[in-house]
Amino acid sequence: MPMPKSSPEKTDPVANRFGPVIANVMSVGARALGYIIFGLLLMIYRRDPKMIALFGSIFALIGLAIWLVLR
C-alpha cells in the first residue's frame, strides 16, 4: 500500500520537534557509555585491582539502586 501524500499545510504526524532532542540525548549517552567501557578496558589492561574494584562497586551500587526503585 503506498504512503499517503501529505499536503503542505498539514504537518507530518510522525515527525515532531522532540526527535532532534532525543537524538542528542542518545548521542551523549552513547558517548558516555563509550568512555565508561574504554576506562574499564584500560583498567583491566593495566591490571589495577583497586580501580577495577571501585569501578565494579559503582556499577553494583547503581544496579542496586535501580532494583530498589523498581521493586
What pLDDT, in 10s, does the model give residues 30-57? 998 888 888 888 888 888 888 888 888 8
Classify residue 9: in a domain, yes or no. no
Classify residue 5: in a domain, yes or no. no
Classify residue 12: in a domain, yes or no. no
Classify residue 35: in a domain, yes or no. yes
Classify residue 30: in a domain, yes or no. yes
Total tally of structural domains belonging to the chain: 1
Read off the pTM. 0.51
Classify residue 13: in a domain, yes or no. no
**Helix ranges, 1-71 (H):** 18-46, 49-70
Only one residue has cell 580501580, namely 51
Classify residue 31: in a domain, yes or no. yes
Instruction: Give residue 38's domain range.
Output: 18-70
First to last CA, the chain: 45
CA separation for the pair 62, 66 (Å, rounded):
6
pLDDT at 8 > cutoff 60: no
